[in-house]
């Protein structure tokens, strides 16, 4: 163990002298996290969408949409609502960019709903605000779904009876009860429940884990450097167990990774206001991330013939895994196949673990993600050690 620590110490000393390691481990991730936060941070702060309503109906169902649905959303600060005098005026507002979208409640809307005839809410969109238009469509769609649910409820109550035999007053009472059974539309902030990182923490963590894969390669790949510069023969001739040469390289990788991540966690907390979450949970995730990064880069190094070749391959792997794992954009929130595929990367698990902590989780919340990353480390590291063992074999 002593020889391995001496070799690791020598490697770390070399890395300190070689400024590129410092640049890659601390300076670049910190600077890029700052830049990303600067560019995308303000965009991530939600602003209320501006909508207009054209009520050509004036009936009860249209009034509920305007006052209960849009009015409630306006009270919560998600939207602003103004009234437009007609469809042409609404179109002009959308075309001028004065509003994100316009809801048009056509004449006869209430009557159509009550008679179970087709009824629709039109949405006129501002082409420069696709997100605002999407949200408007969703609101309209949700309201339509609520109306359909009410219709079904009424139909269920009246099942087997001839509608003509039901008194108008009873019918209206049933419809009112069905409509009151659910709130027409509920808007709420789901960031805590869905465990979404704030932008500062997201970019700090993303850049940290992305550059971690470049940082740890300095330790493992130096075995190939030693072979190229002839010092490996000297190490192998020394009275030390051969395994300590490989162990020294792995220790150096782990130390570099842990050091850089620790500095980045502290620096981004102090300088950017990143909220990493429970310190013990973060420590577990950092350890898991460093182990996984070391395993993956060691595996890549074991397949290469020279340190340069290993560096090239490791860079490609780091970028691909970083992109797929959501180090730059929150892939996990995209959903579908890509989100599932992202779980083959340690990056995705690292970000997922941090999101769990952001949702208020304790150290236990970080354990599944940590276990996944340790799994990566064990699988890739075992193959790497077997292959790299050949380099130090007599």
Partner 1 sequence: MAVRMDVTPALRCRGLRRRYGDLIAVDGVSFEIALGETYGLLGPNGAGKTTVISMVAGVLRADAGEVSVAGQPMTPRTPAVKARIGYVPQDVALYPDLSGRENLRFFARLYGLSRAEARSRVAEVLETIGLAERARDPVGEYSGGMKRRLNIGVGLLHQPRLLILDEPTVGVDPQSRNAILASVEALATGGMAVLYTTHYMEEAQRLCDRVGVIDNGRLVAEGTVRELTALVGEHDRVVLAADGDLPAAAEKLRTVAGVREVSVGAGRLELLCGDGRAALPEILACLASAGVAVRSVELREPDLEAVFLHLTGKSLRD
Residues 226-285 that bind partner 1 (CB under 8 A): 229-231, 233-242
Q: Is 14 an interacting residue with respect to partner 1 (CB under 8 A)? A: yes
For partner 1, give the closer residue by CB, 10 or 82: 10
Residues 130-189 that bind partner 1 (CB under 8 A): none
Of the candidate spans 2-10, 37-45, 204-212, 355-363, the one that interacts with partner 1 by CB under 8 A turns out to be 2-10
* Angle in degrees, CA 351, 354, 360, rounded to 5: 150
For partner 1, give the closer residue by CB, 9 or 330: 9
Q: Is 13 an interacting residue with respect to partner 1 (CB under 8 A)? A: yes
SS3 state at 175: helix
Which x/- pattern over 192-231 shows residues binding partner 1 (rule: CB under 8 A)?
Answer: -------------------------------------xxx
Of the candidate spans 5-13, 83-91, 207-215, 338-346, the one that interacts with partner 1 by CB under 8 A turns out to be 5-13
Residue with tokens 């354990």: 367
Reference 55, options 121, 147, 143; nearest CA is 121
For partner 1, give the closer residue by CB, 82 or 242: 242
**Min separation Cβ 368 and partner 1, Å:** 41
**Min separation Cβ 232 and partner 1, Å:** 8
Residues 33-62 that bind partner 1 (CB under 8 A): none
H-type alpha helices, 158-242 = 168-181, 199-215, 217-229, 231-237
Determine the Cα–Cα distance for residues 330 and 352; give it in Å rounded to an integer: 10
Q: Is 10 an interacting residue with respect to partner 1 (CB under 8 A)? A: yes
Of the candidate spans 3-11, 74-82, 172-180, 194-202, the one that interacts with partner 1 by CB under 8 A turns out to be 3-11
For partner 1, give the closer residue by CB, 17 or 161: 17
User: CB atoms < 10 A from the CB of 168, how many?
Assistant: 7
Backbone angles phi, psi at 97, to 5 degrees: 80, 10
SS3 state at 188: coil
Residue 2: half-sphere exposure toward Cβ, Cα within 13 Å:
2
For partner 1, give the closer residue by CB, 63 or 242: 242
Q: Is 17 an interacting residue with respect to partner 1 (CB under 8 A)? A: yes
For partner 1 (CB under 8 A), the number of binding residues is 22
Cβ pair 15, 256 in contact under 8 A: yes
Q: Which of 18, 148, 170, 194 binds partner 1 (CB under 8 A)?
A: 18
**Min separation Cβ 77 and partner 1, Å:** 58
Interhelix angle for 199-215 vs 346-358, to 10°? 150
**Min separation Cβ 10 and partner 1, Å:** 5
Q: Is 394 an interacting residue with respect to partner 1 (CB under 8 A)? A: yes
For partner 1, give the closer residue by CB, 18 or 120: 18
Strand positions, DSSP E, the chain: 49-55, 79-83, 101-105, 122-125
**Min separation Cβ 253 and partner 1, Å:** 18
For partner 1, give the closer residue by CB, 191 or 231: 231
b/e 25-52 (16+ beta carbons within 10 angstroms → b) = bbebbbebbbebbeeebeeeeeeebbbb
b/e 367-387 (16+ beta carbons within 10 angstroms → b) = bebbebbbbbbeebbeebbee
Cβ pair 53, 103 in contact under 8 A: yes
For partner 1, give the closer residue by CB, 206 or 248: 248
Applying CB under 8 A, the residues found at the interface with partner 1 are 3, 6-7, 10, 13-14, 17-18, 229-231, 233-242, 394
């Amino acid at each position: 163990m002593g020889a391995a620590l001496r070799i690791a110490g020598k490697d770390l000393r070399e890395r300190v002298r070689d400024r590129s390691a410092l640049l890659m481990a601390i300076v670049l991730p910190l600077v890029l996290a700052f830049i990303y936060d600067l560019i995308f941070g303000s965009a991530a702060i939600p602003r209320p969408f501006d909508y207009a309503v054209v009520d050509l109906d004036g009936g009860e169902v249209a009034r509920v949409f305007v006052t209960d649905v849009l009015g409630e959303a306006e009270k919560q600060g998600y939207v602003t609502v103004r009234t437009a005098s007609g469809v042409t005026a609404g179109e002009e507002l959308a075309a001028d960019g004065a509003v994100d979208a316009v809801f048009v409640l056509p004449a006869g809307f209430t009557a159509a709903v009550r008679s179970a005839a087709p009824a629709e809410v039109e949405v006129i969109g501002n082409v420069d605000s696709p997100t605002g238009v999407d949200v408007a469509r969703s609101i309209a769609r949700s309201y339509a779904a609520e109306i359909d649910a009410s219709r079904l409820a009424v139909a269920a109550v009246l099942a087997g009876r001839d509608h003509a035999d039901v008194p108008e007053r009873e019918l209206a009472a049933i419809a009112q009860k069905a409509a009151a059974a659910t709130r027409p539309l509920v808007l709420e902030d789901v960031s805590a429940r869905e465990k979404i990182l704030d932008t500062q923490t997201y970019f700090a963590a993303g850049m940290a884990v992305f550059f971690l894969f470049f940082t740890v390669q300095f330790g493992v790949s130096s075995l190939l450097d030693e072979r190229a510069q002839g010092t490996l023969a000297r190490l192998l001739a020394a009275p030390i167990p051969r395994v300590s040469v490989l162990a020294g390289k792995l220790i150096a990788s782990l130390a570099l990774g842990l050091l850089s991540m620790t500095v980045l966690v502290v620096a981004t907390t102090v300088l950017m206001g990143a909220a990493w979450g429970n310190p013990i949970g973060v420590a577990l995730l950092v350890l898991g991330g460093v182990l996984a990064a070391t395993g993956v880069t060691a595996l890549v190094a074991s397949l290469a013939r020279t340190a340069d070749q290993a560096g090239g391959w490791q860079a490609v792997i780091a970028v691909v895994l970083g992109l797929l794992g959501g180090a730059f954009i929150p892939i996990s929130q995209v959903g579908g196949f890509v989100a599932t595929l992202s779980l083959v990367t340690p990056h995705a698990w690292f970000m997922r673990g941090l999101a769990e902590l952001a949702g208020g989780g304790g150290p236990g919340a970080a354990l599944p993600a940590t276990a996944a990353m340790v799994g990566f480390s064990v699988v890739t590291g075992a193959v790497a050690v077997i292959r790299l063992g050949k380099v130090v074999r007599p």
